[in-house]
Structure 1
Amino acid sequence: MTKSSNFVKAPVPVNEKDRLRTLYGLHILDTPTEERFDRITKLALDLFNVPISTVTLVDSHREWFKSCQGLPNREGKRAISFCGHAVLSEDIFIIEDATKDPRFAGNPMVTKKPFIKFYAGVSLKAANGQKVGAFCIKDHKPRSLTAEEIDSLKSLASWAELELNVRELSQALKARKSAENKVVELNNTLKLLNKMLTHDLLNDLTVVKGLTDLYFKSNGQNEKSKIVSSAVTRSVNLVKQMRQLEAALEHNAPLKMTPIRDVLGEVLKLFTSIKFNVSGEGNVLADDALFSVIENIIRNAQVHGQTKRIDIVIKKEKDCVKMRIADFGKGIPDEIKKQLFVEGFKYGPTGNSGLGLYIAKKIIERYGGEILVEDNIPKGAVFVIKFIS
């Protein structure tokens, strides 16, 4: 703070450059008066029975009034301004009698027109937190404020602060909306490209697989041919899983009550080498993707667990339907169980992408349910799916 012969000049904060940059970024200085600000200062005159109220912006060398009631000019010198002090205050800044305050007793605003004796102001912040001005009331005579009046003044200041930032917030919302639209547009383009690539790639790989199978059938297989065949098969499965994942995460078809036994009937036709024991029944909220979930679990039990038998139990409970798919294969180690549904986690010798059970988990979560894995007694693993009923 700089002290004149008989008063203290309004201080300049250490972050003045940043503060001014924010102030100028609001694009409000030297704009015409607006009713949205004037109604606040007019209300302050009535509420507090004072002759002066302003919405003040503190510029580098001046205070400028966006709204002013009771003063003839729309700006004044910053050095002698009360708002120049209030703008730096964390709380309400009150001077009950300026003639008795050594910081203001000799201030020209006190000793000459407009003869300010009482001042109460609350700093106004921009959206980024920088203090750019103050909302205040002034009187020609000394006075004090009650706790209720202080709360009312702070409320008016909050209103003024909101009006001060509404343009910036509106512009920020427009910019955000524009960015979101661009992201959506880009995402849609990527989806289209992905569909085209996976479709074409799957077709080409299917042709390659058919030709290699035909060649190996005619000429027999050796170690190198087995590697080629295995690589092509993995690639085909990977593309299929990518398409399943896309469908699982973005499927927008409405869920409907689906009899689990009907879905099981279709899935089990794919596994003629496994003995199935199925009991119970129940209807659950699901869609066509439930087929992929059950098919994936059973295929994992067949490939990784090498099971020859699977027991499936469907049980209605109070607020859900549970389906237990229990195999009698090798089982799953505890350290593997924790990672089984993690995207990309690979388990077993097949070298698959690790997307299958991750996809299954996402599908079940979309249904509002959950999926977990437990040990089967005496051996094997149990996948438990909980559906909302």
Structure 2
Amino acid sequence: MQLAPIPKNEKKRLLSLHTLGLLDTMPEKRFDVITRAAVRIFRVPICTLTLIDARREWFKSCQGLKKYENARAISFCGHALLANKIFVIPDTKKDARFSDNPMVVNKPYIRFYAGVPIMSTDGERVGVFCIKDIEPREFSKNDMVMLKELAYWAEMEVNFHNLSSALRQEGEISLKLEGKVTKLIKFDELQKKSKKTLLNVMEDLEKTNSLLAIGKARDKAIFESIGDGMIITNNKRKITFFNKSAEEITGLKMSDVVDRHISEVIKMGDEKGNSISENQLPIRLALSTKKKITTLVNISSLYFNTKKVRRFPVTITVTPFLNKNEIVGAILIFRDITKEKETEKIKTEFIANATHELRTPLAIIKGNTDLALRRGKKDPKFTKNALLEINNEIKHLSNILSEMEILTLDNKENKLAIYNNRVNLNDLLRKIVRRLESIAQEKNMSIDFKKEQIDFFIFGNKEHLEKLFLNVIKNAINYGKNNGKISIKMLKEKDTIKTEITDNGIGISKEDLPKIFKRFFKSEKAHKYSSDKHSGLGLAISKRVTEEHGGNIEVKSIEGKGSTFTVSLPVLNEKILKDKKE
């Protein structure tokens, strides 16, 4: 590890730092708003405005860290302080200077760093404005420009107090001097006073320009931190600003669209692809009525006339901005709602399928109940059979509701259950095999599960994991051949435990293979082969549970010969578990 270097002018630098009067002061909103903006703009977990003291780095503003200071010797900012340009480390583990740094190998596990030196008014380097990430990443030229602008904003705020004090002191001195001046003012004295007045005006102008620069940087940072796409136009509908989210959503760069008429870049149509007339465009309506316009979600689609046209549904809000009741331009905010539309579609299909699945057992229950009520006294045996059938349907109904509960469970809540339970995967599978052996024996099938020499542990929701493997193994039995064999094998690859479940059953057709993990999917061939009642949710649940544990499930199958399902789950060590909980 390379320690942070000490500059030759360290004494002079420290004097400038302490003159600022910022060390060990309380947090201030004017600094925190900048670091919060940086976290949103760059989507990083950590941002600090760091002041470099003699033996420590101290954070005047800090997002994402609990400690407000660290040792200077091991700090990243100690290195960035002396850089003549933005100091960027794309991957700390690949940089010999930092690969064994305590902040890389231990919490907060820094993998990326970018910092810009902060100067005092006398040109001394007093600190660094930086961002940090726990994942390695690339840093583009546009990213560098934005980080420089935020750092400049922070630098102006750092020096603003001292500039104000200096101007105030100068004013007080001027007043004292003016009190001692005689009433007779000679021409040369008047000339000196005029010169001094001119200097004061120039200083006021410089101060005003600095405040304007701060305001401009602040506004840009706020616009860039908005998660929705933002486009600003002038009153002629020519684009003047295109924020980072708009770039990410559309694939266009601000340099590609600035000064172009918005109609050249953005076109609107309905869900069928029909163009919306010029008079009905939201931006046209906003500019003509001087009122805020919001589109209806269900009729609008936004697409861009790039080389590769992409069409997607959006919500759009256009707000005109005025100066003395004259239109200056408009702000268009848009959000890609593709996921919301897909979720709505899945939800509708889920409700429709669920209603169908629930209606069948309820109809059977009602039918048997009616028959039992009519013939119960005359035929006790029939009543008993009807009650048994009702009981079976209630179990089937209960199973469907249990499976639906897993599919609709809030993922955040379930994460807490995952990180709070340590599961022995070997024991879990042995328990499931014992439970299913009697069902397999009815078809003269054998389940081969060799006991591993070591136990494999993962952190997970035990009940859900049991459902995952129960569904896959039960499927292998249901669609396996008489006198067939099911093989279960576990192996560890790096930080992953793989469980392979292989059968020599009927297999899955190429047509059905892409659909088997979809909710309520039932293969016609499989349905004819097995008389066992199932909801069509089993494999969908197995996929959901695997993914909620950070793993994946795959299947390879040859029709008529059998299938192999492979469930891969990550091994979480105790250290990572502790960090996740914190």
TM-score band (shorter)? 0.3 to 0.5
**Rg larger in structure:** 1
Q: TM-score, normalised by structure 2?
A: 0.32
Q: TM-score, normalised by structure 1?
A: 0.48
